[in-house]
Chains A and B, each alone.
Chain A
């Protein structure tokens, strides 16, 4: 599953960079949009979510309600905020850490804002200069 995600991220990145290197600003805007998707998928893959990776054996019965990372277990396998009362019915290994999803949600909103600004800028540019080609903009500017 992680492998599929990694390939998806790589392809999305490649397509978005290709689009951003183009000469037409419409394509560039599309590239920007795809770029944020690639980043969000990366976070999903990196977050150590148990759905994506191999299930981890947990031994958290009777442990503190809040787990903190320390030098002994630097790599997080479990979500950091999980109360002990869940551990009996629902094993920790099957729970998804909510924080990366919150991060992705925030990132989506922000990229949406940037995208809206960029598209508006495209419209304004087209209205003022009658072109949305990078070369034309640079030429008449010089």
Chain B
């Protein structure tokens, strides 16, 4: 369904960013513009999500064709349940990190185009969530990366500069591979539109026709690129050092947002397009179940297992709060990859839910870490202590966020992990499920480490600032943390309505029909339907003539006789 309001989600941060360049010396005004922009984005995305949740399946994908060009030729902006959820979460996280920065950021840093960069980062992130075009996705990534390069080096301390080169070079390399892969997709299929690609793949599946040679290597190239952005094993080495050096509010925003963009693109492109092997099974009710390429699925499974487990071990071995949190980002990405690797609609729904809750919770933890640093002047656990006595409110907020991350039952992390791990067991990936559970236990250990050293430890650490001084100077930081922790509590206690949206997102990823028809028009899927019908007819005719007298008893319904060509989930 066409709805041109969705492009506003990109226009708002862009305009706000441009305006705040002009207001660079007016601190309060540019802060106001920033808050206004985040609030508008949040409100608009929430209202759109409510709209598509209430709509029937056929109208649940909102599309806006840029410049009025028909779909495969222009750029489509697509807003479905998955993008909707992620944009809501991104706007919340952005708002939280932005408000938090008012009380912790260095005034000199703030004047160095901090406000515009925060907006441009959101522009890139929102565009990556919304775009329905592979090349446009590359452009969105570049916008986001340019803003993140600049935010990474903002202030320009020696440590930041040394780390920045690693981050920039890796991302430039990844972008180059992405660019080439996009060019190759165009060379192979003559289109870059994601819906159009999904249509071509679905037609191949329906006809049980092999995809062109080189399709798998393209898939691996894309996986490499998005794996690097999303910090999958073994491409995660850049992350801990990078997040360690930036100002804490920015670390919170990066930790919440940037890796999720990589995971989102994998969730968007792989079940729909690149994990396909061109085969399919016609189910009893006449719907098609696409086959999964065993190689790609194996890569995803291995990546998920190692990302979860090795990263959490890394987190336990760290002794700085920031480093523990940064390494944990990677470990949690493992759960999301787990959800994608299972590749059923429910697992993808769990992945979507886990992504949004992780964005909120992880950002809240980083922001708590910022206030802890204000109290003690350091994030070294050996030098922290007695924070609970000094600032019990922060303790409560941190505890809720930490337990949400671990996934204790009434809190949000539980519901995400539960669905993903349950699907893993149901679909025969029990080893991933076991690793997920063990990782959860070790996550608890490392969170309790921060809790017991930093908060419960009775020894009063040397203070950098008096508790009262911190409490008055960090008012906005407390507000931001409370906002995010409130959202996390809501995600946990009100998981059911959120999951309704998430399950729909999972369905849309598993069965691309509505996505394709929304973008390309109703007739685009006709060929797939026709091919499926032809196959049902052909396959029902075949055994009836060949089987002869041996199995006349089973020839009652043509559909029940169809044998699956291949196991879908090896």
Contact = CB atoms under 8 A, between A and B. Distances in A.
B200 A118 contact: no
A56 interface: no
Nearest to B135: A103
Contacts of B158: 128-129, 137, 140-141
Interface string B180-201: 1011101111110000100010
Contacts of A36: 176, 179
Contact of B183 (A25, A80, A100): A100
The secondary-structure label for the interface of chain A is: helix
A71 B186 contact: no
Interface in A34-52: 35-36, 38-40, 42-43, 46-48
A69 B191 contact: yes
B103 interface: no
A47 B191 CA distance: 11
B531 interface: yes
B283 interface: no
B431 interface: no
B146 A117 contact: yes
Tell me the interface secondary structure of chain B in the complex: helix
B527 A76 contact: no
Interface string B139-167: 10010001001100100101101101100
A58 B83 CA distance: 41
A3 interface: no
B153 A121 contact: yes
A117 B153 CA distance: 11
A141 B241 CA distance: 12
Contact of B191 (A20, A80, A140): A80
Contacts of A106: 135, 139
A15 interface: no
**Interface range on chain B (Cβ under 8 Å from partner):** 35 or more
B538 interface: no
B295 interface: no
B162 A141 contact: yes
Interface string A13-33: 000000010000100100010
Given A70-B203, A117-B146, A117-B149, A43 B172 contact: no
Nearest to B168: A118
Given A36-B176, A80-B191, A134 B203 contact: no
B124 to A, nearest CB: 12
B284 to A, nearest CB: 24
A48 B187 contact: yes
Nearest to B209: A71
B245 to A, nearest CB: 9
B470 interface: no
B183 A103 contact: yes
A83 interface: no
Query: For B153, B206, B211, which residue has the most chain A Cβ atoms within 10 angstroms?
Result: B153
Given A69-B189, A80-B72, 17 more contacts: A28-B169, A32-B169, A39-B180, A39-B183, A43-B182, A46-B187, A66-B73, A76-B189, A107-B138, A107-B179, A110-B139, A113-B146, A121-B164, A125-B161, A129-B158, A137-B165, A141-B158
Interface of A: 20, 25, 28, 32, 35-36, 38-40, 42-43, 46-48, 66, 68-71, 74-76, 80-81, 99-100, 103, 106-107, 110, 113-114, 117-118, 121, 124-125, 128-129, 134, 137-138, 140-141
Closest 8 CB pairs of A and B: A76-B190, A43-B183, A46-B187, A71-B203, A137-B162, A141-B162, A39-B176, A69-B190
Interface of B: 72-73, 135, 138-139, 142, 146, 149-150, 153, 156, 158-159, 161-162, 164-165, 168-169, 172-173, 175-176, 179-180, 182-184, 186-191, 196, 200, 203-204, 206-207, 209, 211-212, 527, 531
28 contacts: A20-B173, A25-B165, A28-B165, A36-B179, A39-B180, A39-B183, A42-B180, A43-B179, A43-B182, A43-B186, A46-B180, A47-B186, A47-B187, A68-B196, A71-B200, A71-B207, A71-B527, A74-B211, A76-B190, A80-B190, A103-B183, A107-B179, A114-B175, A117-B150, A121-B149, A129-B158, A137-B161, A137-B165
